[in-house]
Amino acid sequence: MIEVRPIADATLGARVSGVDLRKLDDATFGEIEAAWHEHGVLVFEGQFLSDEEQIAFSRRFGSLERLIVGGAPDPEIAYLSNVRPDGRLIAPEGSYALFLLGNTFWHTDSSFKRVPAKASILSARRVPQDGGETEWADMRAAYDALDAETRARADGAVAVHSYRYSQGRIGGVDVLSDAEWDALPPVEHALVRVHPATGRPNLYAGRHASHIVGMDEEQGRALLEKLTADAVQAPRVFAHHWSEGDLVIWDNRCVLHRGRTWPGDQARVMSRTTIAGDDAGNEWSL
Ligand code: OGA
Ligand code: MN
């Protein structure tokens, strides 16, 4: 029997023990999937999966996005890493550093795509001594906490999501080639979405959300920023301080996440798989 321990004092997240993710029968997977739908984020400590094992576990949740950033040989898995192939650490300036910087702002993965990622899985290969935590925020509870007037404004609103906007804001537009940018026009997503498995409504925004259709651009942006700032408050957040071998899966459809910084002279290597949205075709991700 697996043990699911919700994160204390938070509306989301649970730690799961009593399972080896390499040896998962269908019944146990069913328990894990149900717990994931309930808690939004599951932490599995000390799993130490190989890339192949992580891919196999990830495929249980759906088809995987191909990854175009990270330079990994296997396109279904990529590394978020500040370690270069020669073992030296990546300089804190430069386009890859800007890509990593983008992850430190609250976001939901690839919301700038027509069909955003359903889930993301990170596992820790090398962890820094200090910092480098990942944090998640519960956008279902954030929706529930809205006052009636704000909820009425949010319901039915449509947000424009754009990677050019979010990367431009941090000066990181050279992370992609012109052709890659051309393939990424702004997309629209409802600001309030209903989770297909649980039926719970949630706010859907984050750093790629630029403005709101039909609203003055600055006013829409201010509303999005206020909604996010209010959302990411206790008890709707929790942080995981990584140890090597840990694996976390989160539901991009209803939680935001961000990575915390760490000293530039310490290595951090994370393996990353991404589960495509259910109506995605052959999708790639960043
Ligand atoms: C990601 C991400 C944050 C982190 O992998 O999508 O945002 O803590 N990571 O590495
Ligand atoms: Mn991310």
For 49-72, what is the mean pLDDT?
Answer: 85
Mutation test residue for ligand 1: of 67, 111, 122, 243, the one with most atoms within 8 Å of CB: 122
The rounded distance, in Å, linking the Cα atoms of 8 and 43 is: 13
Give residues (CB < 6 A) around ligand 1.
80, 103, 109, 120, 122, 134, 257, 259, 270, 272
Q: Evaluate whether 279 touches 90 at the Cβ level (below 8 Å).
A: no
Is the per-residue pLDDT at 5 higher than 80? yes
**Average confidence (pLDDT) over 5-14:** 98
Q: Which residue has the higher pLDDT, 263 or 72?
A: 263
Per-residue pLDDT tens over the stretch 107-119: 999 999 999 999 9
Confidence of residue 196 (pLDDT cuts 50, 70, 90): very high
Q: Show Cβ contacts of residue 98 under 8 Å, excluding neighbours closer than 6 positions.
A: 167, 170, 171, 172, 174, 175
Residue whose CA is at the smallest distance from ligand 1 atom 2: 103
Across all residues in the chain, what is the average pLDDT? Answer: 92
pTM over 0.85, yes/no: yes
Mutate which of 272, 285, 286 for ligand 1 pocket (most atoms within 8 A of beta carbon): 272
**Domain segments of the chain: what residues?**
3-285
Residues 6+ apart with CB under 8 A from 135: 237, 238, 239, 240, 257, 258, 259, 260
Neighbours of 76 (CB within 10 A): 18
Mean pLDDT of 82-87: 91
For ligand 1, atom 1, name the residue with the nearest CA: 103
Q: Residue 211 has what pLDDT?
A: 98
Cα–Cα distances (Å) from 116 to 91, 94, 153, 156, in that order, read 30, 26, 24, 19
**Weakest mean pLDDT among 91-95, 164-168, 229-233:** 91-95
> How far is residue 234 CA from its own chain's centroid?
19
Atom 8 (ligand 1) nearest CA: 259
For ligand 1, pick from 120, 163, 167 the residue to mutate: most ligand atoms within 8 Å of CB. 120
∠ Cα 256 230 206 (to 5°):
30
Condensed to tens digits (0 to 9), the pLDDT of residues 151-189 reads: 999 999 999 999 999 989 988 777 778 888 888 899 999
Domain 3-285 coded CATH 3.60.130.10: yes
* pLDDT tier, 73 (very low <50, low <70, confident <90, very high otherwise): low
Q: What is the mean pLDDT of residues 130-157?
A: 97
Enumerate the β-bridge partners of residue 66.
284
